[in-house]
Amino acid sequence: NRKKRFTDLPFLFRGLLDFELPVIAAIQGHAFGGGLLFGLYGDIVIMSGQSTYSANFMKYGFTPGMGATHILGEKFGKQISVEMMMSAKLISGAEIKNRGASVIITDNVMEEAMHMASQMSSKPRNSLIVLKRKLSQEVWTELERHILLEEKMHEETFHTDEVKGHIEKHFGNHSSKQK
């Protein structure tokens, strides 16, 4: 009903970028949609080879938001990200690894995350802060353009009967109950 936008909560796509120190996102289990995207904004992303992942927005009939059209390609590669966004299919961590994604895929997510944190903690704090700021600014510069384009996609699609029907099919007609 055009009352809320994903940009109303910028922490979802910008929050991890804004942290002063580097963020290790340890995604130990299955992750879909916004939850997956949130984790992909970590500076270092560690995922389970045994879990499944999906950019499932189209399953519900709507185009991706939260910078998905950018961050998925950055972390997984163009082809996997297009497949995930267009089809909403589940992809295993093992397949993501085999297809050369730029995230760490392991069967020991927390052990790997703790090892990485230990390595980083021995580095000069100010140097980590300066490097993090520079790398986050690069991501944000590109991401900002994608966020604007995703908002336009939502403007073109969310109000249509077809998209509303998909949403109601999967989530029920909550909009009439909230009036």
Distance CA 107, CA 49 (A): 6
Give catalytic residue positions.
154
- CA gap 144, 135 in Å, rounded: 14
**Contact call for residues 85 and 64 (beta carbons, < 8 A):** yes
CA distance 25 to 108: 13
CB-count exposure of residue 45 (10 Å: 0-12, 13-18, 19+): buried
Query: From CA 81, how far away is CA 153, in angstroms rounded?
Result: 17
